[in-house]
Structure 1
């Protein structure tokens, strides 16, 4: 008897809580949204989107938020709209108890700006996702050009979220991405590098900000070791007055730095 009473009591309590929740939810659906807040998280120095840009995107898609009943606000559709934006890494729409709506957005971080052989250009972000160039906002990042084929300017996805976006890059773009990422991860290399160039044989070259020489990396194997060797060479093997004597610093070979001087100075 006592056991039956306990079960009955908890059943009544659960039913009451559920009813209260449904009532509160229905009541909130009738609340008018007093404000729409946009919070953009940008973990880097490059701004590609703004609050005004987000509001315009939502408005142009035909959605209204502020001043609308919560029941009439299609939060799920707006969230999906924002998630499809190529400049946005993640977006979540939340609705407060008082009816205020908030969009929490994390912006993608451009890593490199790519120019193909035909002159088309786009960014690749820090995760390997391709983004279009935004005419309103310019990111000052390393440029990659040269013999880069005019491949798709969209990252191909197989639908598997566990696969890193970089895995879906065209081989030519993956080469550029891996090089840019290695350069970005080393403060010295990042400060030194002006441009990444893919030569006629498909090998990777760096164009430094100082001097008239190029730095030949070859392929993407042992990139960190190659950049470390370059750092040691600059710090220990080259004098400040010798910047313009070299035409090529070759790092293709493991644990070697092979330099070529201009014909004016001979070769080493």
Structure 2
């Protein structure tokens, strides 16, 4: 008798829970979106997109969110749409039981702005991903120019969240990307550098903000060592008005700093 009562009790309990679940599910199907929240993480100082920009992209693609039933919101399709945007690193849509829908977005951060030999422009972000220039927002980053070919580049996400996009960069772009990244990682070099220039020989030069000289790095080998040598040279080797005496500081060779002076001061 006792066993029958226990079975009866558990049957009632399970049936009640199932009924509550069905009821809650039916109520959820009737809930409409009362609020659409766009939360953008910039992960750095440069803004390339805004909440309004994201809303417009969703609307232009034919999707409606606010005022729609939660069951009618095509969250996965909207995620794919946002993840294909070249300025967006990641995007996730979450739907709350209270009727709110949130788009959690992380924006890519530009590292440098590239000008090709024909004048085309684009950004390369901190991971090596290529992004178009946004006319509404300008990122103040180091410029790369010179003998950079007019490379056909992809500037749209594939939506798969590629982990290492730098491996797909053209060799010249990879050269300026690695240089810009090394410069960014050193506060002194970042404050000093105005431009990264690829000369006729395909070598890397830095154009500093101070003085009339250029800094020849050569290739990307031992970049950190070269920048450390440059820092020591500026702190110990340049005094008074010497900023304008040099036309070239050559860091190509290991453990050497070779300086060339303008004809006004002779050469060394």
Aligned equivalent of 1:67: 67
Aligned equivalent of 2:151: 151
Q: Secondary structure in 1 aligned to 2:241?
A: helix
Once residues 108 and 188 of structure 2 are traced to their aligned partners in structure 1, the CA distance between those partners, rounded to angstroms, is: 24
Cα gap change, 1:159/1:133 in structure 2, threshold over 3 Å: closer, same or farther? closer
Contact 1:215 1:249 in 2 (8 A): yes
Cα gap change, 1:263/1:120 in structure 2, threshold over 3 Å: closer, same or farther? same
Report whether the alignment pairs 1:254 with 2:254: yes
Structure 2: unaligned runs, 5 residues or longer: none
Question: For residues 2-28 of structure 1, what are the alpha-carbon distances to aligned partners after superposition, in whole Å with 9 as ceiling and x for unaligned?
Answer: 9xx999999997787677555534431
Describe how 1:1-268 pairs up with structure 2 within 5 A.
20-21=20-21, 23-154=23-154, 163-268=163-268
How far does residue 99 in structure 1 lie from its aligned partner after superposition? 1.2
Once residues 33 and 204 of structure 2 are traced to their aligned partners in structure 1, the CA distance between those partners, rounded to angstroms, is: 54
Cα gap change, 1:259/1:10 in structure 2, threshold over 3 Å: closer, same or farther? farther
| Aligned Cα root-mean-square deviation (Å) | 2.6
TM-score (norm 2): 0.91
Q: How many residues are aligned here?
A: 267
Q: Secondary structure in 2 aligned to 1:93?
A: strand
Structure 1: unaligned runs, 5 residues or longer: none
Q: Secondary structure in 2 aligned to 1:240?
A: coil
How far does residue 156 in structure 1 lie from its aligned partner after superposition? 9.4
Cα gap change, 1:90/1:235 in structure 2, threshold over 3 Å: closer, same or farther? same
Once residues 19 and 178 of structure 1 are traced to their aligned partners in structure 2, the CA distance between those partners, rounded to angstroms, is: 61
TM-score (norm 1): 0.91
How far does residue 155 in structure 1 lie from its aligned partner after superposition? 6.2
How far does residue 72 in structure 1 lie from its aligned partner after superposition? 1.3
Once residues 162 and 60 of structure 2 are traced to their aligned partners in structure 1, the CA distance between those partners, rounded to angstroms, is: 33
How far does residue 213 in structure 1 lie from its aligned partner after superposition? 0.3
Once residues 126 and 104 of structure 2 are traced to their aligned partners in structure 1, the CA distance between those partners, rounded to angstroms, is: 20
Once residues 92 and 122 of structure 1 are traced to their aligned partners in structure 2, the CA distance between those partners, rounded to angstroms, is: 26
Once residues 229 and 132 of structure 1 are traced to their aligned partners in structure 2, the CA distance between those partners, rounded to angstroms, is: 34
Cα gap change, 1:225/1:71 in structure 2, threshold over 3 Å: closer, same or farther? same
How far does residue 150 in structure 1 lie from its aligned partner after superposition? 1.0
How far does residue 84 in structure 1 lie from its aligned partner after superposition? 0.7
